[in-house]
Amino acid sequence: MQGEPVLTMRGICKQFPGTKALDHVDFTLRSGEIHALMGENGAGKSTLIKVLTGVHEKDSGSIHISGIEGEARIHSPQDAQNAGISTVYQEITLCPNLTVAENMFIGRTDGALVRWKEMEKKAEAILNSLGIPARARQELGSCSLAVQQMVAIARAVDMNCKVLILDEPTSSLDEKEVEMLFGLMRDLKNRGVGIIFVTHFLEQVYAVSDRITVLRNGELVGEYLAGELPQVSLVAKMMGKSLDDMGGLEALGQKRAPGEDPVFEADGLASTECRPFDFHIRKGEVNGFTGLLGSGRSESVRAIFGADRVTGGRVRVKGRNVRIASPHDAMKHGIGYLPEDRKRDGIIADLSVRDNIILALQVMRGFFRPMRRSEMEAFADEYVAALNIKTASKDTPVGSLSGGNQQKVILARWLLTHPDYLILDEPTRGIDVGTKLEIQKLVLKLSQEDMSVTFISSEIEEMLRTCSRLIVMRDRNIVGELTGSRLTQAEVMKTIAGGER
């Protein structure tokens, strides 16, 4: 059924202040194919989709759509709609309190008068032809999420659509519902619709896609036939590594053999955001969670720290059963946590460097035991010097520091509490190379000093350099654990991909 190109994008560029989101990206979609658009967060997938749907204007490049003479002019979502491009977003954007038929035709009736009977009849016909198990007069909110998603697709398809974009349509569906959705996608494909499928789930890509286009850092990595691209190569391409790129990892310092005593153990720990998992870390050990973004690694460490609502499992700290229901509990048991999103969860932007450094220690001391000013100054001086934090003064609001120095301030905040177990979620993201190395060195030094550290980074080399054990996650489950000689990039990618395909 795969045929002529329905959509051709050539040399698309899009610049945002500070970043080049798309750099000469080409993308071709043929009629009757399901084409997966892959890449890590920030690779440019959503920007490309937004350019295509008229949410963003492209800076340069051309878009051609079959049946339209010359360049397609897409300056607004309405233009995209008229050109035959329909989008179904991750979150369902329909109105649950209206009926299925109303949702399918809302905003598309001619004039102010609605012919309800006719509308319902038309809706019923479309639902039947696509095999969607919903009735036209049913309230949308009473359908399952998958059916709602399918209604959204039906609405999109009905608008004379040549190109259907599905942006993470499966993220809130269970396996059965995903299968149902895939059935609908295959059906549409056989009718000649070109489908762009954006997802984080590798298995699902291979289940339905014909072709895969990979983006990385706003650049096109390549277009591949799904059958010809093994899963492990796909992961490698998304991460921008070649499979034999394994050498050249000089050690920054000595990794130490972890002690025997577990500092932290969890059995079946689960939170509202993560599935149950088992985990432990020994004294002086550095381990790491790895996996693609969205694989559940941050959610897992957030559960350890009590940052999300814990829903089950048992936790032991130094062999003693404890309850960690909030970050405060975790701090009391000697756990520190540097969050993934520095700006949102880490820094208190308007407060001074000094206040930001002493914050966690002050909270641990308690409400009625405020630090003396002189003590605060001494702590701040000590850590500004020790971590080489570049700031005009200790009174400078931390928000005005560079990213790397902000990160160091948060590190200082936790080091000051002298935790037994420190969780660092992406401590090196968005900071300069020099600081990245400093932080990695620091992690190894802390481990020599008997601190246990969980180190998470999108840069696999960083983790291989620092961790003596890597826990690999895929699709929100732990799928493997690598130690010793298996700590290589190739092994990591193989495990993430789920073995050779």
Partner 1 sequence: MKQKTRADKRKGALGQLMIPLIALGILLLFNLIRDPRFYAISVATNNSGNPVLTGNLISIIDSASELAIIAMGMTLVTAACGGQDISVGAVGTISGTIFVKVLKAFPAINIGTVLLAALACCLVTILFMSFNGTLVSVFRIQPMIATLILFSCGRSIAYWIVGSATPQIDSPIISAMGMTIPGIPIPTPVFGVLLVGLLLAAVFRFTTLRLYTETVGVNEGAARLNGINPVLVKMGSFVILGICVAAAGIIGTSRMGQVSLKTLLVDIEMDAILAVAIGGNSLGGGRFRIIGSVLGAYIIQMLTTTLLAMRVDPVDIKAYKAVVIIVIVVAGSPVVKRELVRLWSLLRQRVLPAKGVK
List interacting residues with partner 1 (CB under 8 A): 305, 307, 326-328, 331, 337, 339, 344-351, 355, 359-360, 362-364, 366-370, 392-396, 413
Closest to partner 1 by CB, 184 or 410: 410
Closest to partner 1 by CB, 237 or 302: 302
- Among 83, 102, 118, residue whose Cα is nearest residue 151: 102
- Minimum CB separation of residue 290 from partner 1 in Å reads 23
Q: Are 238 and 200 in contact (CB under 8 A)?
A: no
- Minimum CB separation of residue 340 from partner 1 in Å reads 11
Closest to partner 1 by CB, 179 or 395: 395
Q: Are 361 and 417 in contact (CB under 8 A)?
A: yes
Rounded to whole angstroms, the Cα distance separating 367 from 374 reads 18
Closest to partner 1 by CB, 218 or 306: 306
Closest to partner 1 by CB, 175 or 367: 367
Closest to partner 1 by CB, 293 or 351: 351
Closest to partner 1 by CB, 145 or 349: 349
Rounded to whole angstroms, the Cα distance separating 428 from 461 reads 12
- Minimum CB separation of residue 375 from partner 1 in Å reads 13
Rounded to whole angstroms, the Cα distance separating 357 from 334 reads 17
Concatenated DSSP letters for 263-308?
A: EEEEEEEEESSS--EEEEEETT-EEEEESSTTSSHHHHHHHHHT-S
- Minimum CB separation of residue 405 from partner 1 in Å reads 17
Closest to partner 1 by CB, 320 or 369: 369
Closest to partner 1 by CB, 320 or 373: 373
Cα(first)–Cα(last) distance of the chain, in Å? 25
Residue 372 DSSP class: P
- Among 454, 489, 490, 450, residue whose Cα is nearest residue 469: 454
- Minimum CB separation of residue 344 from partner 1 in Å reads 6
- Minimum CB separation of residue 371 from partner 1 in Å reads 8
Q: Are 38 and 215 in contact (CB under 8 A)?
A: yes
Quick count: other Cβ atoms within 10 Å of Cβ 82?
A: 16
Which amino acid belongs to residue 478?
I
Q: Which two tokens stand for residue 451?
A: 């601190």
- Minimum CB separation of residue 497 from partner 1 in Å reads 33
Q: Are 149 and 92 in contact (CB under 8 A)?
A: yes
- Minimum CB separation of residue 343 from partner 1 in Å reads 9
Q: Which two tokens stand for residue 425?
A: 């979620």
- Minimum CB separation of residue 69 from partner 1 in Å reads 48
3-class SS of residue 482: strand
E-assigned strand segments in 350-418: none
Rounded to whole angstroms, the Cα distance separating 27 from 43 reads 14
E-assigned strand segments in 66-160: 85-88
